Amino acid sequence: MDLGLRIAHRLVDWLIYPLLYYVVRYRRKVTRKNLRNSFPEKSEQELRQLERQFYRQFCDTIVEAVCGYWMTDEEMRRHVVFHHAEEANRLIDAAGGGILMLAHLGNWEWMASVQQWVSPGVTELNVYRRLKSPWADRLMLALRGKRGGECVEKQRILREMVRYRAEQKPVTVGLLSDQKPRPEVTRTWVRFLNQETGFLDGGEVLGKKFGYPVIYLYIRRTRRGYYDVDLQVLAADPKITLGGEITRTYARTLEKNILEQPALWLWTHNRWKWNRSGSGPK
């Protein structure tokens, strides 16, 4: 499959990236607005360079997600290396579960392979939102479920966690927590990438309710198609943290992660559609 991945990357270089960036111009207005507002200190030339780097990474993420379906577990372990798993597993085993907070950064679809690094017998529940397209939804479920995890719609996750606890079965719950919440339900606002930004607090709420440690997956791309992931503990015991503390810590850690390799984040997402007042940013 490594050969197949190299061929897929060449396809990105020769066809997919030029088509998406120059012909389709996929969400370039949103991307440029996000980059300009996030990095006001950068020149237009620097912003365009970063923009092109992002679109190449975005195309890589698409083809890597598909190629990953045919990778063996051994091949996946070469492409995604998790660090500090011992400490994370110790906390998860002691609490009977854990909350894994992720972001749309690097190849987030491959992060479902974390199932290979947690203790045996721990079930991975990945919270997801059903896609409008039935075939795209089936594809996403197949890709994310290949490594043994289970995709659970957000409306069902609390019920499933209660069931697993009643059956004394340990779980980890994966959350892509960088999506935008509606302003009327946002409880945590922070200064993030030079903009007032609301954050989902589901990871904090679930961690406090169940007493599960909250862990952030800090992603770095070491070379094309290869990622290192640090399992960083945001809260070993969420119940003793202040309200909003875990969510703010997540936001600060995510910002540091983005600034380290900014092309890895999903800039096409209209992340700042609303501000605290409910209107869009200027």
- Residues 21-47: pLDDT tens digits? 999 999 999 999 999 999 999 999 999
Q: Mean pLDDT of successive 10-residue segments in the chain (282 residues)?
A: 87 96 97 98 98 98 92 91 93 96 94 80 88 79 77 92 95 94 89 96 96 97 96 97 96 98 97 81 54
**139 in the Ramachandran plot: left (φ > 0), alpha (ψ -120 to 50) or beta?**
alpha
Give the distance from CA 20 to its chain's centroid: 22
Q: Tell me the CA distances in angstroms from 190 to 105, 132, 187, 207, one per residue in order.
A: 19, 31, 10, 20
Q: What are the residues whose beta carbons fall under 8 Å from the beta carbon of 206, sequence distance 6 or more?
A: 99, 157, 158, 161, 173, 175, 212
What pTM was estimated for this model as a whole?
A: 0.94
Looking at residue 281, what is its pLDDT? 59
User: What ranges do the domains of the chain cover?
Assistant: 2-67, 79-262
User: Within the chain, where are the H helices?
Assistant: 2-11, 17-18, 28-38, 44-68, 73-79, 85-95, 134-145, 157-166, 202-210, 245-260
Helix axes 202-210, 157-166, angle to 10 degrees: 20
CA gap 49, 217 in Å, rounded: 27
Q: What are the residues whose beta carbons fall under 8 Å from the beta carbon of 44, sequence distance 6 or more?
A: none
Looking at residue 131, what is its pLDDT? 77
Closest CA to 52 of 28, 33, 30: 28
Looking at residue 1, what is its pLDDT? 63
Closest CA to 126 of 260, 146, 272: 146
Q: Tell me the CA distances in angstroms from 207 to 97, 202, 252, one per residue in order.
A: 9, 8, 18
